[in-house]
Structure 1
Amino acid sequence: MEKVKVLVVDDSAFMRKLITSFLEEDQRFEIVGIARNGQDAVQKAKLVSPDVITMDVEMPILNGIEALQEIMKSNPIPVVMLSSTTKEGAENTMLAFQYGAVDFITKPSGAISLDLHKVKDDILEKVYYASKVKQEKLRRYSEPLKTSIPYVENCSKIDNKEKVLRKFESKKKLVCIGTSTGGPRALQQVITNLPKDIDAPILIVQHMPPGFTKSLASRLDSLSLLEVKEAEDGEIIQNGVAYIAPGGFHLKVRKVGASLAVQLEQTPPKNGHRPSVDVMFESISKIPDYGKIAVIMTGMGSDGTEGLKTMKSSGDVQCIAESEDTSIVFGMPKSAIASQMVDYVTNLDEISTQITKLLLK
């Protein structure tokens, strides 16, 4: 088996040693270089041609964000960022996604984390999956995103599913989106291309630890016509607002009179995730009198598939899955498509248009 070649970048010798030892213990990986700052990383990337780079965010001379930009400009390589949980660290992580980082790992206790072993499994899994991202896809992924609000004349022009959609179209709507690896950038593509007066609330589960979802919501809010916020327990959900599940909490929905309200829970993770797409979908399946639009985008694993099956068995649901061509990691969409519960397989840049079509009456 050909090993995944990894370049480890961190300004702390201790952190470099820890990350290197974790990877070397796994026979899938080979360390082909280490670098102690961003400038060193850019040079080493050219010399050793790694399959994946682990990149610290905060470094001297050239920081991780600046190094990432340089690498993506010249010869794109999958990069997994390592970030602290500070507000600045979270904001820098969002920038890293903007410039083409595939994924990130949170250092448990700051820049020099003596307890990095707590995220060892995350490091191994995310570096491995990052190595599977093809360069051509990465090149497209790192290009600037475009915003273009879709205009659709008539929902009946979607395709030949008018009869299936007729009952769906007569109901109030609810949009629910699940994503993981590559998700922050995918969400930016979709959410920023939805109109301000969208006639439905949007509920989002993005696999992220506590401390990062607020920065994600703030960034998307600053770029979007509609309001984007981190969901709060008990708030009544409104049309034209996108609610992102806070890291560490499951997002559910419950009826409050004629309205719907957010319900946040710290019940155990489901299949290793909290928030979980399955938990959100299963909760939404219990809400009557709504047409539901479920969207499953790029990500590792199969989160969302079981919840989608529950939704499909209990109400009017139309499901959109991101295509393999645009998914950074074709795990979650692939699993959903294999369940035969998906109605539309769509490239990322067309998902917002498909949502808008389904919302029009």
Structure 2
Amino acid sequence: MTPYRILVVDDSAFMRKLFSDIIGGDPSFTVVGTAATGAQAVELLAALDPDAVTMDIEMPDMNGLEALRVIMGQKPTPVIMLSGLSEDNRRATVEALQYGAFDFIHKPTVMTADIDRVAEQLLSRLKSAVSVKLRSSLLPLPDKQAAKWPENPASKAVASAQATRAAPGGGARSNRKPAEPAPAESAASAAPKKKASPAARKPAVSPAAPGTPAVPKLPSRVAEFRHLIAIGTSTGGPRALHQLIGSLPGNLPAPVLIVQHMPPKFTHSLAQRLDSFSELSVKEAEHGERVAAGTVYIAPGGYHMTLARAGGSYRIELSLGEPRGGHRPSVDLLFESLVPFVELARHAVIMTGMGSDGAKGMKALAASGAETTIAESEETCIVFGMPRSAIELGAAKTVLPLHGIAPLLTEAVMK
């Protein structure tokens, strides 16, 4: 088999050599070129036509985020971002994932064990990336001057989305520090601080779009609800979540629980980013907090998230239990926790991602009477693994392209 061709981009000569040696040491790959700036990367992409790119974030001339936008706008190619550990790097990485980067890894430290771990992660992600053919239609990206995100699909006719269905197969939000779910670092360490009132909030905007007004939030959040939405996703998820969550109305009378496979702290940045573009309030979930309609809760990286009922209200539970299928948080575990709550109209969604996490949990939800079970269709998935598993298991009653999911959920919850 002809080795896949990889372009390595990093302003550090040491890192270019390190990553080139790691990649070149696997017979599946060959390094066809290296670049020290984003501008060089864009030029080499056209000249070398690589199968995938590794891209540093912080570089002179044109940084990795700017280069990614150009690449995805001109010639969509799988890009693995190389992220540092700073908060700025985490925010830029989340933004890159929403612009169409396939995945990311932490850049290694000087420790040999860390380099070995990074090498394993990089090769694994590259092997997944080269198996995916990106399509420009899947990647609505901004230009250099302003963030231009996909049009809100909620305005489209719901009937159009329904036509693609497959055959069937309380109290105010809590911002307190969560109780420690297990003897380890508290999930609260990465949780967002209490928000100011909508009127007092500083506009939250994309760094690429100075002056863009904040999306207005509805002031009231209530714990009484009849519907609940649960979403699971992995590779390609930040982009998909941006379109889905950004398309739900601010008066949605249901909470939304999300498991996105992502490391600790990055989920906090993801929540902040999504909150900037959504009419709903989006936050990283806290242990023990009461669940309210109109709020989106994202499971913190490294913690399982489940739903429980205590004192007459529904509450978030975080735990450090064993990974399920290699994942913590686990979509299966979230979905399974919803099975007992038959008094709620439950709506489950599985979107783009590798593997099969969520399929068994969705199957259990469907068997318990869940009102809606949706899998994203292959045409809009970056990776069709998780939705495919749900469909093949007979768990997904409905299969929809990404732009059709929000209208269907809105109709189901608002009726």
CA distance in structure 2 between the partners assigned to 1:259 and 1:49 by the alignment: 55
Instruction: Give deviations 1:192-251, integer Å, cap 9, x for gaps.
Output: 100111111000011110111111111111111111000000000000100001111111
> Per the alignment, in what secondary structure is the counterpart of residue 80 of structure 1?
strand
CA distance in structure 2 between the partners assigned to 1:147 and 1:192 by the alignment: 10
Q: Could you list the runs of 5+ residues in structure 1 that have no partner in the other structure?
A: 165-170
Task: Determine whether 1:122 maps to 2:124.
Answer: no
How is 1:295-334 mapped onto 2 (pairs within 5 angstroms)?
295-334=349-388
- For 2:123, the aligned partner's letter is L
Cα deviation for residue 281 of structure 1 reads 1.0
How is 1:258-297 mapped onto 2 (pairs within 5 angstroms)?
258-297=312-351
Cα deviation for residue 80 of structure 1 reads 1.1
Corresponding residue of 2:278: 224
Cα deviation for residue 151 of structure 1 reads 6.0
| Structure 2 length-normalised TM | 0.79
CA distance in structure 2 between the partners assigned to 1:82 and 1:350 by the alignment: 32
Task: Determine whether 1:95 maps to 2:99.
Answer: no
RMSD of aligned alpha carbons: 2.4
CA distance in structure 2 between the partners assigned to 1:69 and 1:153 by the alignment: 31
- For 2:139, the aligned partner's letter is Y
How is 1:1-361 mapped onto 2 (pairs within 5 angstroms)?
1-107=1-107, 109=109, 115-135=114-134, 137-143=135-141, 144-148=148-152, 150=154, 172-361=226-415
- For 1:273, the aligned partner's letter is H
- For 1:297, the aligned partner's letter is M
Q: 1:268 and 1:17, CA in 2 relative to 1: closer, same or farther beyond 3 A?
A: farther
Q: 1:139 and 1:34, CA in 2 relative to 1: closer, same or farther beyond 3 A?
A: farther
The share of aligned pairs that are identical, in percent, is: 46
CA contact (8 A) 2:158 2:404 kept: no
CA distance in structure 2 between the partners assigned to 1:64 and 1:153 by the alignment: 38
CA contact (8 A) 1:78 1:138 kept: no
Cα deviation for residue 138 of structure 1 reads 3.8
- For 1:56, the aligned partner's letter is D
Cα deviation for residue 139 of structure 1 reads 4.8
Instruction: Give deviations 1:164-187, integer Å, cap 9, x for gaps.
Output: 9xxxxxx92110000011100100
Q: Could you list the runs of 5+ residues in structure 2 that have no partner in the other structure?
A: 142-147, 169-224
> Per the alignment, in what secondary structure is the counterpart of residue 271 of structure 2?
helix
- Higher mean C-alpha displacement, 209-218 vs 310-319: 310-319
CA contact (8 A) 2:363 2:396 kept: no
CA contact (8 A) 2:299 2:329 kept: yes
CA distance in structure 1 between the partners assigned to 2:339 and 2:30 by the alignment: 45
Cα deviation for residue 113 of structure 1 reads 6.9
CA distance in structure 2 between the partners assigned to 1:104 and 1:154 by the alignment: 35
Corresponding residue of 2:196: none
Q: 1:77 and 1:174, CA in 2 relative to 1: closer, same or farther beyond 3 A?
A: same
Q: 1:316 and 1:11, CA in 2 relative to 1: closer, same or farther beyond 3 A?
A: same
CA contact (8 A) 2:360 2:395 kept: no
> Per the alignment, in what secondary structure is the counterpart of residue 150 of structure 1?
helix
| Structure 1 length-normalised TM | 0.90
CA contact (8 A) 1:15 1:113 kept: no
- For 1:33, the aligned partner's letter is G
CA distance in structure 2 between the partners assigned to 1:274 and 1:235 by the alignment: 20
Cα deviation for residue 147 of structure 1 reads 4.1
CA distance in structure 2 between the partners assigned to 1:359 and 1:146 by the alignment: 23
> Per the alignment, in what secondary structure is the counterpart of residue 105 of structure 2?
strand
Count of aligned residue pairs for this structure pair: 349
Q: 1:87 and 1:340, CA in 2 relative to 1: closer, same or farther beyond 3 A?
A: same
Q: 1:21 and 1:154, CA in 2 relative to 1: closer, same or farther beyond 3 A?
A: closer
> Per the alignment, in what secondary structure is the counterpart of residue 325 of structure 1?
helix
Q: 1:152 and 1:92, CA in 2 relative to 1: closer, same or farther beyond 3 A?
A: closer
Q: 1:75 and 1:150, CA in 2 relative to 1: closer, same or farther beyond 3 A?
A: closer
- Higher mean C-alpha displacement, 351-360 vs 283-292: 283-292
CA distance in structure 2 between the partners assigned to 1:47 and 1:158 by the alignment: 44
CA distance in structure 1 between the partners assigned to 2:108 and 2:320 by the alignment: 19
